[in-house]
Structure 1
């Protein structure tokens, strides 16, 4: 996977491992992502959406030319544009 999405993916993994779905209910992180997304904390849901957008933007030719900016903070985005 591209390095532009690796930070988001790592944060999503950490968030899933700390969630109640995995910790208290003993489910696998993949099961929580696929079938129990409504039980995940809002931070994990936001990271899931950001990871999806990052992967999706890797296929978009306009984003490929400009670079993937999903998950970047405001200062980095302004420097690129």
Structure 2
């Protein structure tokens, strides 16, 4: 189950790497992950929320038994 969110993590890192926050302001990806538009794209915000939901699903016992839903 630990690998079920891996694809979302890659997409989030890719999206944040293309953001204004990372490229122009030279801040770390971790700092940029907490930002809001216009410093990062709205798509990155959606990916961040989906990734957080996926990680939360790994802790929830019902989801751990049934598995994460495909995103």
| Same-fold call, TM cutoff 0.5 | yes
Partner of 1:59: 59
Runs of 4+ in 1 over 2 A off after TM superposition: 36-39
Give structure 1 stretches of 5+ with no counterpart: 72-81
Number of residue pairs the alignment of both structures matches: 70
- Under a length normalisation based on structure 1, what TM-score does the superposition of the two structures give? 0.77
Indicate the structure whose relative CO is greater, using CA pairs within 8 Å and at least 6 residues apart: 2
Give structure 2 stretches of 5+ with no counterpart: none
Over the aligned positions, Cα root-mean-square deviation in angstroms equals 1.5
- Under a length normalisation based on structure 2, what TM-score does the superposition of the two structures give? 0.87
